[in-house]
């Protein structure tokens, strides 16, 4: 365990050193993320314009969902996108060989190798929006609520990571998998709104097929202190299940990997 932590530290220091060559990126990223967020809030406000509501959610509640979504986007740009998009390149060039020859878990290496600071503005803005909207909604932060909220956020991250990793890992069979991860990303955009805002059919799809509901709606419920026990449990089960699936799938995919011929 200690070796994994120290490896992670070295990984992230190395990638930060490389990224910080481009300091202007940080400002650009901050402006872009803030612009995106303002746009999303504006779209959301259109639904609430004439005293209507979205799927029974209050304006502040919907803002919490948007905050969770922004936070997830930030984590995506910081960890998921930079790491998982390189799996395809590793498979194509055959440099996956080097990863597999290291005495360290290959899934860990592939998932945590790079840390890109450009998603940090998104994480900060998302957290800020969550805090502000939850306070406006009158949520009372009891230790139990905070714990539930933290657990559901972690669960949501694990689910998103596992989905993405499985998709990226299938590049072992279909080397050109880039488009598929883009499709995933656009489906996830649905997470900007509470899942109850969608028609019944889509709601089922976003809960059982692509678990978008667990990505933003369930954590938001937990933050607002109104998540029911069964939903919390379901969130935990789905997260643990997705993670286990991603690990199993990786081992399975590796059995087919014969590496690009040299």
Partner 1 sequence: MGFASKPVRMAIVRAQGLGKTYRVADKQPGLAGTLRHFVNRRERLIAAVQDVSFSIEPGEFVGFLGANGAGKTTTLKMLTGLIHPTSGTVEVAGCQPQRREADFLGQITLVMGQKQQLIWDLPPLDSLRVNAAVYGIPPEESRRRIAELAEMLELGDELRRPVRKLSLGQRMKAELLAALLHRPAVLFLDEPTLGLDVNAQARVRSFLADYNRRFGATVLLTSHYMADITALCPRVLLIHEGRLFYDGGLETLTQRLAPCREVRLELREPLGAEAFARYGEVEAIEGREVRLLIPRERLTEQVGRLLADLAVVDLSVSDPPIEDIIGRLFHEGAVA
Which residues contribute to the site for partner 1 (CB under 8 A)? 3, 6-7, 9-11, 14, 17-18, 93-95, 97-98, 100-104, 109, 255, 257-259, 261-262
Answer whether 235's CB lies under 8 Å from 150's CB: no
110/50 Cα distance (integer angstroms): 48
CB of 85 to partner 1, least distance (A): 16
Residue 229: is it exposed, middle or buried by C-beta count within 10 angstroms (0-12/13-18/19+)? exposed
- Cβ-based nearer residue to partner 1, 14 or 150: 14
- Cβ-based nearer residue to partner 1, 25 or 58: 25
CB of 71 to partner 1, least distance (A): 29
CB of 106 to partner 1, least distance (A): 9
- Cβ-based nearer residue to partner 1, 35 or 94: 94
CB of 124 to partner 1, least distance (A): 27
* Secondary structure in 3-state letters for 192-232: HCCHHHCCHHHHHHHHHHCCHHHHHHHHHHHHCCCCCHHHH
Residue 57 pairs in a beta bridge with: 54
Residue 67, both tokens: 């905050």
The residue with tokens 């069979």 is: 173
The helix-helix angle for 143-169 and 81-93 (nearest 10°) equals 20
- Cβ-based nearer residue to partner 1, 26 or 108: 108
CB of 115 to partner 1, least distance (A): 13
CB of 93 to partner 1, least distance (A): 7
Q: DSSP letters along 142-166, please?
A: -HHHHHHHHHHHHHHHHHHHHHHHH
Angle at 68 between CA 62 and CA 73, to 5 degrees: 125
- Cβ-based nearer residue to partner 1, 184 or 260: 260
- Cβ-based nearer residue to partner 1, 97 or 182: 97
- Could you tell me which residues come within 8 angstroms of residue 128 by beta carbon, excluding any fewer than 6 positions away? 67
CB of 167 to partner 1, least distance (A): 23
Cα 136 off chain centre by? 25
- Could you tell me which residues come within 8 angstroms of residue 82 by beta carbon, excluding any fewer than 6 positions away? 15, 114, 115, 116
- Cβ-based nearer residue to partner 1, 13 or 38: 13
């Amino acid at each position: 365990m200690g070796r994994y932590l120290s490896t992670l530290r070295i990984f992230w220091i190395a990638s930060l050193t490389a990224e910080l060559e481009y300091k202007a990126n940080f400002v650009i990223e901050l402006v872009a993320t803030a612009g995106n967020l303002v746009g999303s809030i504006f779209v959301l406000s259109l639904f609430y314009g004439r005293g209507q509501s979205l799927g029974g959610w209050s304006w502040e509640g919907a803002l919490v969902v948007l905050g969770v979504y922004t936070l997830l986007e930030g984590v995506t740009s910081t960890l998921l996108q930079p790491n998982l998009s390189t799996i395809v390149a590793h498979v194509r060039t055959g440099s996956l060989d080097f990863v597999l020859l290291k005495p360290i878990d290959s899934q860990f290496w592939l998932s945590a190798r790079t840390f890109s600071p450009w998603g940090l503005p998104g994480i900060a803005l998302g957290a800020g929006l969550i805090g502000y909207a939850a306070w406006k909604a009158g949520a009372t932060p009891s230790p139990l609520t905070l714990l539930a909220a933290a657990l559901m956020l972690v669960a949501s991250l694990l689910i998103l990571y596992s989905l993405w990793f499985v998709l990226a890992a299938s590049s072992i069979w279909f080397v050109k998998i880039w488009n598929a991860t883009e499709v995933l990303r656009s489906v996830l955009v649905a997470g900007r709104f509470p899942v109850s805002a969608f028609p019944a059919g889509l709601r089922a799809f976003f809960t059982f097929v692509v678990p978008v509901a667990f990505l933003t709606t369930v954590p938001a419920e937990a933050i607002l202190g109104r998540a029911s026990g069964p939903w919390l449990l379901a969130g935990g089960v789905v997260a643990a299940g997705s993670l286990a699936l991603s690990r199993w799938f990786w081992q399975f995919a590796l059995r087919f990997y014969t590496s690009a011929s040299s």
